[in-house]
A = this chain, B = another copy of it.
């Protein structure tokens, strides 16, 4: 077994440390965030979407202090709205390409050959190719002063998906929807469901449902 302590980690070369530490949380969600400001659309991949609660329905997103995602965060602060679109396994390369540092007025939709779609009364682009998509509204943000990142809390305003992805109990079959997941910064994966397990109770083992 290899052991890194805190000091070892800080002494690693920057890029090596970034890849190592980005691997440690486990598999990450893969989403595209769509925004629009002054008639220019923007699309960026994020691996930091996290469930914050169902009542009210909230989503969290973490934005780095000085990356291409700034366009997205700035647009979101100004317009209050974005879309969140699952990355599917059939377009993960195009989704990854949205992380290139395109000039501010270049739309990543066009540059990466993904299709804008307008499904809401709010003028913000969804990704037509994505099988599960949401309209999110900015609620507020917390600055993580330790490293300058921004933890943004958003309200889920709309959900769009095919009805046949939803099980009777509300579970959405995101594997059937071909949702991808991410390891570290650049690994893309499809999944194989092992099982759904019953609600855990102390007196019996969980069952496959």
8 Å CB interface, A18-62 against B: 18-31, 47-60, 62
Q: How far is the CA of A22 from the CA of B174 in the complex (A)?
A: 11
The one of B51, B55, B163, B192 that contacts A10, using a Cβ cutoff of 8 Å: B55
Contact B6 A172 (CB under 8 A): no
Q: How far is the CA of A176 from the CA of B36 in the complex (A)?
A: 40
Give the oligomeric copy count.
2
Chain A residues close to B by CB (< 8 Å)? 1-6, 9-10, 12, 14-31, 47-60, 62, 64, 84, 86-87, 89, 92-93, 96-103, 106, 111, 119, 132, 134, 139, 142, 144, 146-147, 149, 151, 153, 155-163, 166-167, 169-175, 179-181, 183-202, 205-206, 209
- Other A-B contacts than A174-B183, A188-B196, 19 sampled, CB-CB below 8 A, are A1-B160, A2-B163, A9-B57, A18-B55, A23-B174, A24-B134, A27-B27, A27-B28, A27-B174, A27-B191, A28-B51, A53-B64, A58-B147, A60-B62, A97-B200, A103-B202, A175-B183, A186-B199, A188-B195
